[in-house]
Amino acid sequence: MSRYRLEPTAAQADALLRQCADARYVWNLCVEQEACWRAGRGRMPGFAERCRQLTQARADNPWLAEGSVIVQQQAIKDHAQAMTRFFAGTHRRPRWRKQGKDEGFRIVAIGPQDVRRLNRNRGEVKVPKVGWVRFRWSRAVPEDAKSFRVTRDRAGRWHVAFAAIPDPVPGPGTGQVVGIDRGVAVSAALSTGEMLSVPGLGTREAARLRKLERKLARAGRGSNRRADAKAKVARLKARETARRKDWAEKASTDLARRFDVIRVEALDIKDMTRSARGTADAPGRNVAAKAGLNREISKSGWGLLVRRIEDKAPGRVEKVPPAYTSQRCSACGHVARESRASQALFRCVACGNACNADVNAARNIAAGHAVKARGGHATRQPANREPQPTLLPA
Ligand SMILES: [Zn+2]
């Protein structure tokens, strides 16, 4: 993904917001349809069926027909993709999208004629129903981009991101294997002993964020103070997200270049981040502690990192069963819960081998055997939404 700052005029921004509203409306209809489904009611409508429903809805509602059909169909498609990921166990169930928070839409089937450079620092992209919108040409635009996504962050800034399938990064060809353990304190530990950590906010930035959040909590509803604090919080959070994405890009390229086989645990992120709240009848335990852990896991950008490695090193990522990777000694193979001396330290009770607990786990993962069943993504295609010519208007 290459992301650029979009600079729409005021009129264009209104038109873009309208497209966001359309996409959100269609997405939320899909979420509602899923929520209403009960066993015995037959199959959930698939992508094609929903597109037929959309055509019908556009015929009945002129205001919907005014919007771009590509934007609306892509919202259905994005939702279908989200459901696939949910069923695969890697993502949470798609949720209701809110105004002001989840603003964005996707345009597909674009070609070189839809992007042009104006001068050194500016380019233009053609957005259906909006026209040519300027953006900051901060780096080369991928020539083979097939689609782009327009988003508005909570601070009100617009971006355009072009999706091109990244060229595979060649491995060293030496048969080098690396294991990566996803940690919470450290984002990832390599079997080589290296530690990777996601650059989040600095200490001063984090302190500033806390202060702003307190200010936000105290400010009266609808006040200028509140709007001001809200915008500042949004900017800081956007900065954090940008750093995480940038890190995932660099780290995935580096790993794909240095190692021929990259082994990770076949973890079920859905299980790890599932809400601990439980139900009214059976409330969950350690709710606060788990919520904290969930935040850290999502923050660590693990899912993003693995996805990007799979894109850049297709067929070279192996998923290893996670059993005992944290209790097993990577030197002698002895498995004992007592060897995990602390969160950070592993000291084998059999051979005395002592090392960082995450590195020990990463070494076990490097030595592990690939899962054939669900983790087998060896031939997985990148999850970019490819245009489906049969479903797009001519
Ligand atoms: Zn040992």
Question: How many angstroms separate the alpha carbon of residue 175 from the centre of ligand 1?
Answer: 26
Q: How confident is the model at residue 383 (pLDDT cuts 50, 70, 90)?
A: very low
- Please give the distance, rounded to the nearest whole angstrom, from the Cα atom of residue 336 to the centre of ligand 1: 9
Q: Which residues contact 229 (CB under 8 A, 6 or more apart)?
A: 212, 215, 216, 219
- Ligand 1 centroid – CA 249 distance (Å): 36
What is the structure's pLDDT at 393?
38
Looking at residue 388, its pLDDT comes to: 36
How far is 310 from 312, CA to CA, in rounded Å? 6
For the annotated catalytic residues, the residue numbers are 181, 265, 358
pLDDT of 239? 87
> Across all residues in the chain, what is the average pLDDT?
82
**Which pair of structure tokens corresponds to residue 163?**
């999706």
> How far apart are the CA of 265 and the centre of ligand 1, in A?
21
Q: How far is the CA of 300 from the centre of ligand 1 (A)?
A: 29
Rounded alpha-carbon distances, angstroms, from residue 345 to 75, 173, 341, 357: 46, 33, 6, 5
The arithmetic mean of pLDDT across residues 206-228, rounded, is: 89
CA of 102 to the centre of ligand 1 (A): 49
Q: Residue 391: what pLDDT?
A: 37
Q: How far is the CA of 297 from the centre of ligand 1 (A)?
A: 29
Ligand 1 ion: nearby residues, β-carbon < 5 Å = 329, 331-332, 334, 348, 350-351, 353
Question: What pLDDT was estimated at residue 261?
Answer: 93
- Measured in Å, residue 170 CA sits from the centre of ligand 1 at 35
CA distance 158 to 105: 12
Looking at residue 27, what is its pLDDT?
Answer: 94
- Which of the four pLDDT bands, split at 50, 70 and 90, describes residue 220? confident
Count Cβ atoms below 10 Å from residue 170 Cβ, excluding itself.
Answer: 11
Kindly report whether the global pTM for this prediction surpasses the value 0.85: no
The C-alpha atoms of residue 88 and residue 136 are separated, in whole angstroms, by 37
> Which secondary structure element, helix H or strand E, spans residue 160, and what is its range?
strand 158-163
Q: CA–CA separation, 172 vs 316, rounded Å?
A: 12
Note the pLDDT tens digit of each residue in 250-260.
Answer: 999 999 999 99
Q: What is the pLDDT of residue 296?
A: 58
- Cβ(177)–Cβ(261) below 8 Å: yes
- Which of 37-41, 129-133, 203-207, 338-342 shows the lowest per-residue confidence on average (mean pLDDT)? 37-41
What's the 350 CA to ligand 1 centre distance in angstroms? 5
Residue pLDDT, tens place only, 321-344 = 877 888 899 999 898 889 888 888
Which pLDDT belongs to residue 159?
Answer: 95
Q: Give pLDDT, residue 295.
A: 52
- What pLDDT score does 81 carry? 85
Element housing 73 (H / E)? helix 69-88
Which of 113, 117, 108 has its CA nearest to residue 148?
108
Ligand 1 centroid to Cα of residue 182, in Å, is 22
Looking at residue 6, its pLDDT comes to 96
- Cα(193) to centroid of ligand 1, in Å? 17
Task: Report pLDDT digits (tens) over 5-34.
Answer: 999 999 999 999 999 999 999 999 999 988
Q: What is the pLDDT of residues 263-302, one digit of tens each?
A: 998 765 544 444 444 444 445 555 555 555 555 555 567 7
> How much is the pLDDT for 237?
86
pLDDT in tens, 124-181: 999 999 999 999 999 888 887 888 999 998 888 999 999 877 778 888 888 899 999 8
User: Are the CB atoms for 77 and 46 separated by under 8 Å?
Assistant: no
Q: How far apart are CA 135 and CA 133, in angstroms?
A: 7
The proportion of the chain whose per-residue pLDDT surpasses 70, expressed as a percent, equals 83
Which contacts (CB < 8 Å, 24+ apart) does range 228-237 have? Answer: 230/154, 231/154, 231/155, 231/156, 233/209, 234/153, 234/154, 234/155, 234/156, 235/155, 236/201, 236/205, 236/208, 236/209, 236/212, 237/154, 237/209
Strand partners, 253: none
Q: What is the DSSP letter of 61?
A: -
Task: For 63-100, write each residue's pLDDT tens digit.
Answer: 999 999 999 999 999 998 888 878 766 677 889 998 88
